Structure 1
Amino acid sequence: MTMNSAAKDHVESITKALLIPTAAAGVYARTALFEQVVEGLAAFIGRRRDAETEILRFPPVMSRQQLQSSGYLQSFPHLLGCVSSLDGDESDIRALVKGSDWLARLATTDMVLNPAACYPVYPLAAARGQIPAKGLLFDVAAYCFRHEATHEIDRLQAFQMREYLCLGSASQALGFRDRWLSRADEFAMQLGLPHRIEPASDPFFGRAGRLASISQLEQSLKFELLVSLHSDRQPTACMSFNYHLDHFGKAWNLRTETGQIAHTACVAFGMERLALALFATHGIELTSWPTPVRTNLSL
């Protein structure tokens, strides 16, 4: 058995005690054991929140128009999930339900499934007016959805994302990203996670997307904290550190007090991935985990 196949078998064996498959691929029920660790992670992350950070928690849906205005459809149409409904009065809907073609009669609503916790923040900030001189910091979280092509246990379709987000000048946004990048090693070591940090790119769509990925790498806009779960050659990204330049500033006319287009940056925590990495590293029995890790997670 190769190292990668052994690692995959190990992850699959522990997953049975943590996540319960549903009828939908990439969608799982979470056990109490799994949620205990996720909640510990949430508190651990929360203790690293910068001062004057605004806390926001978003539902799993958001405005379709707002997501489109953010440029998501141009960059990641293959990952999008839309909310549909049956239109009409009671008699129309009853007739549709009794028939066999009700799926063909679904109408798209003005909502989509939230693909990342940060997307609802930008229109909210834009509605408030100019960004103050000190910039804006947010702590956001949401259940998110992405229509993934594969359904490995570390690539769920429905998942929890926690983010810290900075809106401000170019130096503020890049400085925020770089500060979190410098904290990453300590963060992972406090969790006892073997890891590495590497430049990365997003899964942009199509031929133009491949060029965007190359540009993202060349400009060092994105880094990921990687942990080996089921493959050493394809480790799992458990955190990402992202500098968006002025992309969202232009999309939402976000401006600083000096009138300049704002820049943004974020650090994202994949809650399920981090929890799986902890179980894969330390085992199913929480009592056998290293004492410092248990203390850090209040377990």
Structure 2
Amino acid sequence: MKTDSATILTLSLERLDPNQHGQLKYASAFVSEFIDDIRLEDGTLTIAHHDPDGGAKIAAGVEKLIERFSKGDFGFKEHILFEHRGSMPYRGDIIAELVETKTIKILEPGLFIFREPFSSLLRFFDDTFVQRIADAFGAKEESYPAVIHLSTLDKTNHFTSFPEHLHFLNHLRDDLDVIESFSDSVRQAGGWKEEAPLDLNRTMPKPRFAMNPSTCYHCYEGLQGETLEGDGIVATAVAKCHRYESKNHADFGRLLDFSMREIIFVGKPEFVRENRMKAVEHLKQLAQEWEIDCLIENANDPFFTNDFQVKASFQRNQEMKYEMRFTIPYLNKSIACSSVNFHSTAFGTAFDIKLGKRPATTGCVGFGLERWVFAFLAQFGLREEGWPAAFREQYAAWQQKSR
């Protein structure tokens, strides 16, 4: 079926476990650059596209993903650790209100400028996570670059687990002719044009860096080759992270560029496990204190590659990842705002971080700062008088101290 501007492709997902439908929708956005929109409803995936070949390749790609996500009989372990029901007095379209009040400026899907009060709430949440949680662990503050070595991403297996997220970083070659030719071509064209041809092989070297997709990777890179003492260390940092997610950037809270505060544990297995579960207790306390409608549940990363089922099932069965999910009332769905992760010795081995003669165990708790603000406002609105009393008092005290 065709509309005025796009062809519509409809695929039934009856062969796929309903628990996998969201993962399939997410992954399908990467099947083709000709996809304009993807919608999931009642077990049917609807794709709007402008593929000049009619969409046969898109259909084949989605079928390949269905086969990937349905392969084997692994089962997905479900475990809700905590559930808290809040009043959620605000039920409006918070994104529309934020745009209307010019609190946010959408540059393109997933790329925003944040203004007051959103920008202050970002800092308030971050300061609270440091003072209420990171400081309780004695975490030492670190500061990381926004870019990361590709060799570091290779050690974390990012290329083989989440290749779709990569944002490569590059520059013009150290060649006077190349630099001047590029500048001249832009000048002659009357400015930069998106459709302008750019011979990457001639003008740019092979990239050595990517935009950082996760805060904790730099921590492990910084500890490479070290032998730790005692039970282990706790570090914390906030960093700008970048993940390309194609048409999924149109989804609520799925940003191209976002801020991630992490508390990172590196040490003995019991040290990491105990601190990880203490972090869960801190999250529970904040949820109750701030009257947030949320749950904390067993989860898995959105692995993209052929071994998705094996990796995801192992992660769930070992309860290596918990997510704190906030309800978004006007969408009748939830989004993950924090995750609490256990990596075993994967990163300790990859980066040669040791305690004695054994590889260190690692884990982390992450806070997506923009998501916390978006989700909080989705439940309570922009008007401060609608916010929970404890939150209002803490925010006012923080504002006074920050002046």
Query: Same fold per TM (> 0.5)?
Result: yes
* 2-structure distance, mates of 1:219, 1:288: 40
How far does residue 288 in structure 1 lie from its aligned partner after superposition? 3.5
Partner amino acid, structure 2, of 1:254: I
Alignment of 1:68-217 (within 5 A): 68-99=154-185, 100-102=196-198, 104=200, 105-127=203-225, 129-149=226-246, 150-151=248-249, 152-217=251-316
Partner amino acid, structure 2, of 1:102: L
Aligned to 1:271: 369
Aligned to 2:104: 19
Partner-residue secondary structure (3-state), 1:231: coil
* 2-structure distance, mates of 1:83, 1:219: 35
How far does residue 51 in structure 1 lie from its aligned partner after superposition? 4.4
Alpha carbons 2:93, 2:378 under 8 Å: kept = yes
Deviations for 1:43-69, whole angstroms, at most 9, x for unmatched residues?
A: 111112234321012221122211222
Alignment of 1:244-255 (within 5 A): 244-255=343-354
Provide closer, same or farther for how the CA distance between residues 214 and 51 of structure 1 changes in structure 2, counting only shifts above 3 A.
closer
Q: Which runs of 5+ in 1 are unaligned?
A: 1-6
* 1-structure distance, mates of 2:387, 2:115: 18
* 1-structure distance, mates of 2:91, 2:163: 30
Deviations for 1:245-287, whole angstroms, at most 9, x for unmatched residues?
A: 1110111111113x11111111100100001111111111224
* 1-structure distance, mates of 2:109, 2:282: 35
Aligned to 2:127: 43
Alpha carbons 1:191, 1:293 under 8 Å: kept = yes
Flag the structure with larger Rg: 2
Aligned to 2:331: 231
Partner-residue secondary structure (3-state), 2:237: strand
Q: How many residues align?
A: 289
* 2-structure distance, mates of 1:51, 1:88: 46
State the identity as a percent: 23
Aligned to 2:141: 55
* 2-structure distance, mates of 1:195, 1:163: 20
* 2-structure distance, mates of 1:228, 1:287: 20
Q: Which stretch has the larger CA shift, 272-281 or 177-186?
A: 177-186
How far does residue 189 in structure 1 lie from its aligned partner after superposition? 2.1
Partner-residue secondary structure (3-state), 2:239: strand
Partner-residue secondary structure (3-state), 1:244: strand
Deviations for 1:57-88, whole angstroms, at most 9, x for unmatched residues?
A: 22211222112222211111111111011114
* 2-structure distance, mates of 1:293, 1:270: 18
Provide closer, same or farther for how the CA distance between residues 9 and 211 of structure 1 changes in structure 2, counting only shifts above 3 A.
farther
Partner-residue secondary structure (3-state), 1:228: strand
Alpha carbons 1:216, 1:222 under 8 Å: kept = yes
